[in-house]
Each structure stands twice: as C-alpha cells, then as structure tokens.
Structure 1
C-alpha cells in the first residue's frame, strides 16, 4: 500500500508548452518511488493517452461546474478511492521532490489530522526534464540560479491525512479562492495548518494563461468570484501567513511573534474560534475602517 496518493486534474494537453510541463510534473511524482501513487482526474483532451503512456491511474468521471471546470469536492471524493493514509492535491504544473514524503511521514507519526501547505519556486522550463539519478540535486541547483520564490499567498499543494476534509464546497479547480479556504478550514477545525516552505522544496513551471477565456489570469475569472462566495466570503480568504505552525527541520514550531501577526490573530478570532462571519466583518470594520468601507461600497465584504 502506498504512503501517499498525489492527485490532480490537469489542463488539456493541446497546448504544447502546457502538455510538456504537465508531463514533467507527473514524471517528477512518479520518480518519488513506490511509496507514491499518482492519480489523474478528468476527461481533458490528451489526458487518457498521457496516463496510459506513463502508467498512471486515471479516473475520468468528475463533476464539473457550469463552465465545465472540474470541482474540487468531486476530486477529493475520487481521491479517497486510494487506500493511502496520506493524500496530496497538487496543481499539475508543480514538480515535487522527496521532501513531500519526508514531511508527511514525520507528521503522520505524531498527528492524526493536519494540513501542510507552502510556497513554491517559479522557474521558466522550456524542455522535458531529465529524471535520472541525481535529478533533485540538479533541479535545486538550477532553481538557485534561475528561480524566484513566489509570494506567500495561497498554496499549490495540500498534504493531509485521508480523514481530513470530507466536506468540501463545490469549488472550481484552477481558480482563486479555494486554496485560501483550505487554510481557513484547517484553522477553523482546530488542527495544525503547517507552512512547510523551509522543509518542502517545490517548483512551479511558469506558463501563460492562454488556456483561460481571454488569456486572463484566473483571479479575473467569474468562477473565482463563485469560489469566494462558496468559501463564505472574503474574510475566509487566508494566506500562508495565517498558518498555525511552521515545519522546520522536521519539527512543528509556532510562528515567531510579531505585532502584525498578533492583530491578524485578533482579526480572525471570530472566524476560527467563534465560527461567526458577522462578528468577523464587524471586527474587520473596527480594525480596518477605510478598507472595510471601500470593500463594502464595492460589494466585496
């Protein structure tokens, strides 16, 4: 039985660059060895052929939004067909290393519930990558010279025990909002939400947005607005700075104290402890009156 099932809903393999970077990502996950099972979900063009070629388990039937986008809730339900104790939802352009296995194994030894998230490194990749012996070291060296650490906003991977996240709203995958909700949901359910950026090295292969309507980033897509609505509103849009723990050298540690973090914890207290959105909005008005009034006028509270 594998320790970890990695699952994803790739984009169509029709764009040559998107197809290439997705194949790189899938091959990196397979290169992690027998402890990992890879699961691809959906019926996007070229997916069945790629899964067959790489020997990856493929589940084509996934529920979709009105726009035809796979739903996160359906993806998570399908991933539970695996018997692995750990699940990891990952964007299909992300290269993973053995760090993800080490983090999951260490945490699973002491915790029954947790969520691991983290920052990515961005890298321009224009060629199929070599995953022969030593590939992780070569990749780290390349990223050190050519890569750029992405800002600490959402996350591109979500590692958790299979007992967690049984009730997911019908978010559209690949649109903003749902990844932020995962951090909020973990905090509100009281288990460790862990920023593993220091211990888990992942690489995002840069790409354009030609696969989206108008070539616009997903932040501007109508499904992003729907994701935020399903999340419960903008106050549930948490970032990596809102985690409860960091993973450092395999150990859980609390984030260092700062006044900024203190006041942020005060701000989110009604959400994660009292589970009251109206109280959270009221406190937001008290702490950020100008921003809150502007968002109220724009209908974004």
Structure 2
C-alpha cells in the first residue's frame, strides 16, 4: 500500500486462482451507486474447491472457469480466502492474527460489520478457485498453532460471535443480472446481529 496508489488492495491465500471475473466485479463496485467508497470497504467471498489442478488447467482463465464448473465444489459460508479493501480500510486497527489459521477470516468480517464498514459478498460474480491438494481443505487445522487466532481474539474481546462473520451475514452482494454486474442489498438472518 505504501508503494502503489489504487482503488483496491487485496490479499489472498496463495493457493487461490482468479479469473477475469475479479476485474469485472471490482469495476462494477467502483461504478456502483450502492457503494460509498468514501468509507472503508471489505470485499470477500466463497472459494470453489477443485482437486489436483494441473499447470495447464491453472494457466488460463477459460480453463479455470471450465474446471470449476466440471469438478468444483463451493466451500462453506464460514471460509473466506480473499480480502479486498479500499485504501481507507484501517488495517492498523486489526488484531495481529495469523493469516491461514482458523478464526481470522470470520473475525475480519464480523469486525468490519460491527464497525459499520461496507462489506460485500462477491461470491456470485468473483470466481476464486482453491487448488485442493492431498492435504485437503482443512490443512490449516493441522498446524501446531491452529488455535492461535482464537486464543488471541478471546483474550482481547472475551467472546467472538464468529457466526456473525459468515458470508450469509453480509448485507451487500454482487450479482450478474441483465447482462451486467450489480451490487445489491439483502436481508440477513437474526443471528447475524453485531
């Protein structure tokens, strides 16, 4: 962020592949009248798990789209693997969590919602393919420090309602409708209260 001036900054787990839907989705969010870019924005979404992606399959957007449709499986609401923010997002106020371990993703979404930032679920328009290996989709739980984030956040906040950081609790979402990308609002369940 110190080296580039841009509308969005992102970080993602290293085993995620994106397609041109990333560019189309971000362009729509920039141009949407539903999104106020003057306040912090956090964009997240589901990943699609695909086993044993080959080099050839991962080397072209069209191939990534094809394998996601033929053998991909959408992962659960509780797992977010990419985070896209506007320059005003206050990363300096985020707890010192370990990326790739349990609890940081749901806490980030919960915290952004609690702070009344604009949070957008881009699952429906942004394809994020997770290259699943033989280690499986829960590899992060096998590390010796797999509970580090949870323990840190409980020390800081006593209790964390992680379910309020699920994708189903996000009030805004992107959708491809009428041959264009759109940002829309949705009603969320009662358990999503922050």
Structure 1-normalised TM-score? 0.53
Is 1:124–2:30 an aligned residue pair?
A: no
Q: Which residue of 2 is the match for residue 251 of structure 1?
A: 182
Q: Spell out the pairing of 1:76-91 with structure 2 (5 A cutoff).
A: 79-91=1-13
Corresponding position: 1:241 with 2:182: no
The total of aligned residue pairs comes to 179
**1:229 to 2:154 alignment:** yes
- Bigger fraction of residues in strand: 2
SS in 1 for 2:70: helix
Report the 3-state secondary structure (helix = DSSP H, G, I; strand = E; otherwise coil) of the residue aligned with 1:88: strand
Task: Tell me which moved more, 157-166 or 108-117.
Answer: 108-117
Q: Counterparts of 1:186-197 in structure 2 under 5 Å? A: 186-197=112-123
| Unaligned 5+ runs, structure 2 | none
The one-character-per-residue Cα deviations of 1:164-200 (angstroms, maximum 9, x if unpaired) are 1332111111111111111112212223211111111
Whole-Å separation in 1 of the counterparts to 2:53 and 2:66: 17
Picking from 123, 138, 141, the partner of 2:63 is 138
User: What SS does the corresponding residue of 1:221 show, helix, strand or coil?
Assistant: coil
- In 2, Cα distance between the equivalents of 1:219 and 1:225? 13
Q: Distance in 2 between matches of 1:99 and 1:231?
A: 37
Name the structure, 1 or 2, with higher relative contact order (CA <8 Å, separation 6+).
Answer: 2
Q: Counterpart of 2:10 in 1: which secondary structure?
A: strand
Deviation at 1:90, TM superposition (A): 0.4
Correspondence 1:180 to 2:113: no
Q: What SS class does the counterpart of residue 193 from structure 1 fall into?
A: strand
Alignment of 1:204-215 (within 5 A): 204-207=130-133, 208=135
Name the CA distance, whole Å, in 2 between partners of 1:129 and 1:200: 21
CA-CA distance at 1:242 after TM superposition: 1.1
Alignment partner for residue 23 of structure 2, among 101, 123, 126?
Answer: 101
CA distance in 2, matches of 1:174, 1:117: 15
Partners in 2 of 1:175 and 1:96 — Cα distance? 21
- What is the DSSP-based 3-state SS (H/G/I as helix, E as strand, rest coil) of the residue aligned with 2:161? helix
The residue number in structure 2 matching 1:159 is 84
**Cα RMSD (Å):** 2.6
Cα deviation for residue 231 of structure 1 reads 6.4
Q: Is the 8 A contact 2:57 2:67 kept in 1?
A: no
Alpha-carbon separation, structure 1, partners of 2:63 and 2:55 = 14
Q: Which has the higher helix share?
A: 1
Q: Which is greater in Rg?
A: 1
- For residues 102 and 231 of structure 1, the distance between their equivalents in structure 2, rounded to whole angstroms, comes to 38
Secondary structure of 1:92's aligned partner: coil
